[in-house]
Structure 1
Amino acid sequence: MTTTAVPGPLAGRKGLIAGIANEHSIAWGCAKAFRALGADLAITYLNDKARPHVEPLAREVDAQLLLPLDLRVDGALEAVFEQVEADWGQLDFLVHSIAFAPVEDLHGRLTDCSKAGFLQAMDVSCWSFIRMAKLAEPLMKQGGTLVCMSYFGAQMVVDHYNVMGPVKAALECAVRYLAAELGPKGIRVHAVSPGPLATRAASGLTGFDDLLAKAHEKAPISSLLSIEDVGAATAHLATDAARLMTGQTLFVDGGYHIID
């Protein structure tokens, strides 16, 4: 079934969603939510192997652009923004939902993390958001919204999160600095921090099932989180209702982060 846009608070606005791998991706929940509010979308896919999984989803939300993006390839991100500028000439929002660390570093102690693994995790998961902000800035002539995805492990030690903890902490700090620098141009910047979700990325974490069960047990609102919940909260940040919100890490986790 196609998710058709109807007149809504984001009608006529154009945005880039980066990080859809399949129908279980947080970025896919965001794409559906933005489209439901009337936005026009550009969607990225990792490579030729990933395209068959992403292309049907792009059709479902009537994506106007479907573009390859492997952040490990020099010039790939610049090519995406060049195409956005050529086709649209503007950008009103973007969602960065991409993270990566080499499996041997992700599964090992931070103490033992290799320099190469740490730098690659930081490059793909954090630095790329800063690069996106720089490329988006000239296209957001009337202001806009930049959103990235974080996790509670940025603020507290979470078993098995390892190298991604410091990387996501850097990402959340970058959000605050970008918000301060871009705010005078009407560009808002946020991190969204979902609770545990059964995504492909989460499957790479040791002990994820235990983490999911713990969050379900301890969260004040114990309903299991869905990608649609995260998408709805993320899309709200791009509406005029959130025009004076910026620089925040927004938890979408049933309140789990407030519980000891």
Structure 2
Amino acid sequence: MPDTAHSPDPLPIVWNPDDRIGDMLKGRRGLVLGVANENSIAFGCAAKLRAFGAEVALTYADDRTRSFVAPLAERIGASLLLPLNVEQPGELDAVFERIKREWGRLDFVVHSIAFAPKADLHGRVIDCSADGFARAMRISVYSFLELARAAEPLMAAGGALLTMSYYGADKVVNHYNVMGLAKASLQAAVRYLAAELGEKNIRVYAVSPGPLQTRAASGIAHFDELIEAAVNRSPGHRLVDIAEIGRVVAFLVGGGASGMTGDTIYVDAGLHNMA
């Protein structure tokens, strides 16, 4: 479970409209990918974006995932809940057609999906299979480019594109393996997209949280050791939680970050600064 003991604003266990904390994002509409359960980074982002007044659309990868995501969408009052498996042809186009029909525009996208086959993730990078590498890059990186391309025409007045990275993109992290290569590519994509879309006032960011006990992270070998090391090494000897990540995402989506683009923003309790 995420460590909320030290968070000044932990995510409410039960979210409802009374949890609203402001209207900083009132009138903004955005798409959030990657909610799997209430511990997901994507759910922390969606809940905080709603708390600041934004309308959100959520996606689910398949029928099994929908059974977990639908109650969360209802909990935070998500405007749309749409099927999207980025490996299935046509599903991404269908999502954006629905958003265009319902909203007519889009102000932000939060991309919080990543995957690598277990055999490739747990093995050495040098032993990664071509198919495993291609699938990791397809889901973890290329899907962000697809989202940006689909969102661009709906962001005529500008907007923000965000994705989730990790410190393993910058330095070697034991057992992160091929996902480190994918996240490094993702951060490079953020810089290039920022350069290409800047004239349209579309800002692009990578958010790099510290390790959290999410379902996605559970696939990394010896993840408990990574958690323990993060607590021991971070300045405050603590983890971050999904509410803290969500607040940073809300800031980046809002006007307060208008002078920033192409950056990787670390939300890891200072862990990346420590030797």
Q: TM-score range by the shorter chain?
A: over 0.9
What SS does the corresponding residue of 2:31 show, helix, strand or coil?
Answer: strand
Q: Per-residue deviation at 1:221?
A: 2.6
Q: 1:50-95 CA distances to partner (integer Å, 9 max, x unpaired)?
A: 1110001001111111001111111111111111111101000010
What SS does the corresponding residue of 2:259 show, helix, strand or coil?
Answer: coil
Q: 1:136-190 CA distances to partner (integer Å, 9 max, x unpaired)?
A: 0000111000000000000100000010011100000000000011011110000
Paired residue for 1:115?
A: 130
Question: Where do 5+ consecutive residues of structure 1 fail to align?
Answer: none
TM-score scaled to structure 2, two decimals?
0.93
Q: Per-residue deviation at 1:109?
A: 0.6
Paired residue for 2:250?
A: 235
What SS does the corresponding residue of 2:247 show, helix, strand or coil?
Answer: helix
Structure 1 CA distance, aligned partners of 2:83 and 2:115?
17
Q: Of residues 29, 41, 65 in structure 1, which corresponds to 2:56?
A: 41
Residue 16 (structure 2) pairs with residue 3 (structure 1): yes
Structure 2 CA distance, aligned partners of 1:6 and 1:107?
41
Q: Which amino acid aligns with 2:29?
A: K
Alignment of 1:118-133 (within 5 A): 118-133=133-148
Paired residue for 1:135?
A: 150
Paired residue for 2:7?
A: none
Q: Which amino acid aligns with 1:65?
A: L
Q: Is the 8 A contact 1:195 1:252 kept in 2?
A: yes
Q: Is the 8 A contact 2:15 2:47 kept in 1?
A: no
Q: Which amino acid aligns with 1:90?
A: R
Structure 1 CA distance, aligned partners of 2:238 and 2:22?
30
Structure 2 CA distance, aligned partners of 1:132 and 1:99?
14
Q: Is the 8 A contact 1:19 1:27 kept in 2?
A: yes
Structure 2 CA distance, aligned partners of 1:27 and 1:3?
17
Residue 256 (structure 2) pairs with residue 257 (structure 1): no
Structure 1 CA distance, aligned partners of 2:245 and 2:15?
20
Q: Is the 8 A contact 2:60 2:83 kept in 1?
A: yes
Q: Which amino acid aligns with 1:63?
A: A
Q: Of residues 176, 185, 193 in structure 1, which corresponds to 2:208?
A: 193
Q: Of residues 57, 74, 97 in structure 2, which corresponds to 1:82?
A: 97
Q: Per-residue deviation at 1:222?
A: 2.3
Higher mean alpha-carbon deviation, 222-231 vs 86-95, is at 222-231
Paired residue for 2:191?
A: 176
Question: Where do 5+ consecutive residues of structure 2 fail to align?
Answer: 1-13
Aligned-pair identity (%) = 53
Q: Is the 8 A contact 2:122 2:177 kept in 1?
A: yes
Q: Is the 8 A contact 1:3 1:32 kept in 2?
A: no
- Give the total of aligned pairs: 260
Q: Of residues 108, 118, 135 in structure 2, which corresponds to 1:103?
A: 118
Q: Is the 8 A contact 2:62 2:83 kept in 1?
A: yes
What SS does the corresponding residue of 1:49 show, helix, strand or coil?
Answer: helix
Q: 1:6 to 1:259 in 2, by over 3 A?
A: closer
Q: Is the 8 A contact 2:205 2:263 kept in 1?
A: yes
Higher mean alpha-carbon deviation, 4-13 vs 29-38, is at 4-13
What SS does the corresponding residue of 1:73 show, helix, strand or coil?
Answer: coil
What SS does the corresponding residue of 2:145 show, helix, strand or coil?
Answer: helix
Q: Of residues 174, 179, 195 in structure 2, which corresponds to 1:164?
A: 179
Paired residue for 1:30?
A: 45
**Shift >6 Å, 4+ stretches:** none
Q: Is the 8 A contact 1:3 1:35 kept in 2?
A: no
